[in-house]
Structure 1
Amino acid sequence: MTAPTKDRSEYWRKNIGIITGCLVVWALVSIGAGILFAPMLNGFSIGGYPLGFWFAQQGSIYIFIILIFYYAWRMNRLDREFDVHEE
């Protein structure tokens, strides 16, 4: 079950790529939609609240939870691809 060094480095390169992608999405939603683009988004509303405020208070949390499930699903696929899964 020990992978060669080349496979190990490729596995970690892909793992870091997944993590980086998730962090970029989360940053864009939380900082971008909640702070930087809030004035533009506040023209729309969800449940009576401005959309920029909603992203700052709720949207980034929902995206974070979705990203947790996405990361778990994607890492399970990556583990199977490199034969390092736990099953």
Structure 2
Amino acid sequence: MSTNNADDARDRYWAKTRNLTIVVLALWAFFSLVVPWMTGTLNQYTFIGFPLGFYMIAQGSLIAFVVIIWVQNWRQDAIDDEFGFGDEE
């Protein structure tokens, strides 16, 4: 019976990890594909004297990527701790 519980916990762990990965990849695709595709529309507006599309590609996407990485690591650590795979100090 404990093997069944361990298998169930492992399956839930990998399901949460997979779902987190899918969300991260979708956000990454949005900021690397959709935002650059929209630069023509965004360039109608300015931000700090620069066309908004240019600014979003040059700065906004980089900031978004760093935030995505930080949130992914934070959530994965929480998932690891929930299932007993976290670092013990």
Bin the TM-score by the shorter chain. 0.7 to 0.9
1:11 aligned residue (13, 16, 35):
13
Partner SS state of residue 4, structure 1: helix
1:21-68: per-residue Cα shift (whole Å, max 9, x none)?
11111211221112x211221122222221111222222111110011
Q: Which runs of 5+ in 1 are unaligned?
A: none
Q: Aligned equivalents of 2:62 and 2:18: distance in 1?
A: 22
Aligned pairs for 1:26-45 within 5 A: 26-34=28-36, 36-45=37-46
2:27 counterpart letter in structure 1? V
Runs of 4 or more above 2 Å deviation: none
> Which residue number in structure 1 is paired with residue 57 of structure 2?
56
Matches of 1:51 and 1:30 in 2, distance apart?
Answer: 16
Aligned-residue sequence identity (percent) comes to: 31
Normalised by the length of structure 1, the TM-score is 0.83
